[in-house]
Amino acid sequence: MKRLWAPWRIEYILDKNKSKSCLFCDISSGKINKTKDKINLILFRGEYSFVLMNKYPYNSGHLMVVPYFHTPTFNGLTDDALFEFIKIVKLSVDILKKALNPDGFNLGLNFGKVAGAGMESHMHLHIVPRWAGDTDSMPIIAETRVMPEHLNATFKKLTRIFKSAEKLSNNRTN
């Protein structure tokens, strides 16, 4: 029997308040609250999109960029929303380069369940940092991924850099 230690999953398993509605709409709606954002691993909020860490990552630093507008594809997003979306993707990649020094990235959009979308009703783009040798033999032989850093440690590291980037962006527009 294979065992994988993933302590962050117990919160999801035991959550009695699991919403039947859209996860992304639920966690991004309402009054902005730093405590709520920390619980939901939200790193950055733009006008049209936000960035959060994946609670069940493929690799350390796995982020998702999500538009606030509820749509399964690009349909319905304005030009301004699309432009900001891709700018936030670029910002996220730049921050991950600075914080985690990956050798490359996988970026992905999955439209529809047959395409692999786990959350098919609300589009989101995955950004997965990759390192040479990060797949090593563990996933092949033991069918186990190694996560070298706890989600909370990565969240703290990325939060600092996103805040710095946000301040720089605000200074340019003022």
Catalytically active residues are 124
- Give 106's strand partners: 128
Helices then strands, each counted (H, E), the chain: 5, 5
| H helix or E strand, kind and range, residue 86 | helix 79-100
Residue 129 near residue 59, CB atoms below 8 Å: yes
CA atoms within 13 A on the CB side of 126: 20
Neighbours of 43 (CB within 10 A): 22
Residue 62 near residue 53, CB atoms below 8 Å: yes
Per-residue CA distances from 56 to 7, 32, 51, 74 (Å): 10, 23, 15, 24
